[in-house]
Amino acid sequence: MEISGLYFVTDSRLSKQGILQDVKKVIEAGCRIVQYREKEKSLEEKTAEAKELAVLCRGKGVLFIMNNDVEIAVAVEADGVHLGQEDMPLEKAREVLGESKIIGITVHNVKEALEAEKHGADYVSVSPIFHTDTKKDAGKPAGIELIEEAKERVKLPIVAIGGINEGNVQEVIKAGADSVAVISAIACSENPKEAAQRIIRKIAKVKEN
């Protein structure tokens, strides 16, 4: 399945309805990629939650990506894993997961994007595009210029992340992003399904033109 459109990333600290409900709602809205990102729960809790989400996504034909933890990704038969620059090296993750699984990497500049491509990543997540409160150590916003430059020089699908919402998603897609990762604009919403639908519609409008 291709990396495109809305890419929802869970956050239990921000969620108003719980991440299982968030994921159900974004899938109903038409989201085809979900990443489970959990920083505070125990390994046992994370594994159980990831398994439940993996089964849900699999049943709906939605890609399920595990954030950072390759071992949990294997245990729950996730479709892939998303790694940061400080996580397990890509080559090691590939060795564990095999060729059929998706591996995405967070990058903060074109040099890191080219390195990820060279080492066999399936997509790069350029970050942060705008100011974000979700990740305190995200660094200074790179702006849409990073998307434009990465699109020009990297052949991999580009996922944009960091402060993306209904108000700015169209300029992100116009800049060349294949997919947009969204956390708070959906998780903090009173109606995650409607929030996701609005973003999906805005993406579709740009792609239609």
Binding region? 35-39, 67, 87, 106, 132-135, 163, 183-184
Residues of the binding site for Mg(2+): 87
Residue among 163, 124, 117, 156 at smallest CA distance from 140:
163
Is residue 175 within 8 Å of residue 154, measured between CB atoms? no
104 DSSP β-pair partners: 82, 123
Amino acid identity for residue 74 in this structure = V
- Torsional sign, CA 30, 32, 33, 34: positive
Q: How far is CA 209 from CA 31, 50, 117, 152, in A?
A: 21, 37, 29, 20
Residue 67 burial (C-beta neighbours within 10 Å; 0-12, 13-18, 19+):
buried
- DSSP letters spanning 166-183: TTTHHHHHHTT-SEEEES
Q: Measured in Å, how far apart are the chain's first and last C-alpha atoms?
A: 23
Residue 120 burial (C-beta neighbours within 10 Å; 0-12, 13-18, 19+):
middle
